[in-house]
Amino acid sequence: MDKEKQHTIFSQPVFRHVGERGLLIEFSAEIDLETNQKIHAFCRLLEDDLPEGIVEIIPSYRSLVLVYEPLVVDMPKLQEKLVILYGDVESATDLNAEIVEIPVCYGGEFGEDLEYVATHNGLSVDQVISIHSGTVYPVYMIGFTPGFPYLGGLSEKLHTPRLATPRTLVPAGSVGIANNQTGIYPIDSPGGWQLIGRCPYKLFDPLRSNPFLVKAGDQLRFIPVSRQDFFALQTETT
């Protein structure tokens, strides 16, 4: 299995056109940490020497999209540059990813599904909190809603299926689990994840100079806090 993992990354990037202004660059047919790290290393190198006409770089699990100006970009030359850059990227295990600490008040009115997650996995509530907060999670990508972090690394001990019927409203800051993933709802929105806690911080605030608290390529750690501390932190950041 380890040998198979070492060969999931393509030897050459696969290019696909997305509409009239997008170029999709695929790195692998599989989702894994090494592929995602390489994507973020590629993004950093690209940002350091941004080709003319590139408007936006959007990384995802195993690929990224370049949004470009069609009247400015010479596509053959751009792809040639991207192939060279692709060959220069290492596995990126030495990336100094920022670790973002996210306080979470687990259970109660903030995590109404916490007991279900515990029962489903044969654990106590305290064990769920300990396991969930005891991991450093890589932020694979941002999507679904503005600032929603898709995280890797959730312990198999906490894997829990989504709700059979999604909620029509999940409060901003809610921390949830869905199958083998955990994440944070940055704004009020519908959602079907099992809610285990809530964060007092705003992950997305369009009025901040940087609207996003967490970005793709970061690492994230959950810090358990009391209900009292939750409201104190919420007041401080409002």
- Residue 163 CA, chain-centre distance (Å), reads 21
Band (110; pLDDT cuts 50, 70, 90): very high
Residue finishing a domain among 88, 119, 153: 88
What is the count of structural domains for the chain? 2
Last residue in a domain, options 88, 118, 141: 88
- Is 131 within the bounds of a domain? yes
Same domain (yes/no): 108, 190:
yes
- pLDDT for position 120: 98
Question: According to the model, what pLDDT value does residue 90 have?
Answer: 65
Q: Distance of CA 14 to CAs 3, 39, 62, 64, 65, Å? A: 22, 13, 11, 11, 12
Does residue 223 share a domain with residue 193? yes
pLDDT at 96: 63
- pLDDT over 90 for what percent of the chain? 76
Instruction: Please state the φ and ψ torsions of residue 143, each to the nearest 5 degrees.
Output: -175, -170
Q: Check residue 5 and give its pLDDT.
A: 46
Q: Which residue has the higher pLDDT, 33 or 128?
A: 128
Residue 33 domain flag? yes
> In this structure, is residue 94 part of a structural domain?
no
Average pLDDT, the chain: 91
**pLDDT tens digits for range 171-198:** 999 999 999 999 999 999 999 999 999 9
Return the number of other C-beta atoms located less than 10 Å from residue 83's C-beta: 13
2 pLDDT tier (thresholds 50, 70, 90): very low
Interior/surface letters 148-166, b for 16+ CB within 10 angstroms, e for the rest? bbbbbebeeebbbeebeee
CATH number where 156 lies: 2.40.100.10
Mean pLDDT of 98-117: 96
104 and 39 in one domain?
Answer: no
- Whether 144 maps to a domain, the answer reads yes
Let me know if residue 93 belongs to a domain. Answer: no
Q: Is pLDDT of 88 > 90?
A: no
Task: Based on the fold, state whether residues 6 and 79 are members of the same structural domain.
Answer: yes
Instruction: Determine how many CB atoms are found less than 10 A away from the CB of residue 53.
Output: 16
**pLDDT tens digits, residue range 6-20?**
557 888 999 999 999
Domain membership flag for residue 217: yes
Q: Are 105 and 225 within 8 A, CB to CB?
A: yes
Residues 6+ apart with CB under 8 A from 134: none
Q: Is there a single domain that holds both residue 61 and residue 148?
A: no
Same domain, 129 and 213: yes
> What is the rounded CA–CA span in Å between residue 10 and residue 188?
38
Number of other residues whose CB lies within 10 A of the CB of residue 39: 28
Together in a domain, 81 and 153: no
Q: Find the CATH number of the domain harbouring 41.
A: 3.30.1360.40
Asked if the structure places residue 176 within a domain, the reply is yes
Q: pLDDT, tens digit, for every residue of 19-54?
A: 999 999 999 998 888 889 899 999 988 998 899 999
Domain limits for position 29: 2-88
Q: What is the mean pLDDT of residues 140-148?
A: 91
Note whether residue 80 is domain-resident: yes
The verdict on 84 and 103 lying in the same domain is no
Residue reference for tokens 């003319």 = 52
- Are 144 and 29 within one domain? no
Q: Quick one: 107 and 145 in the same domain?
A: yes
What does pTM read for this prediction? 0.83
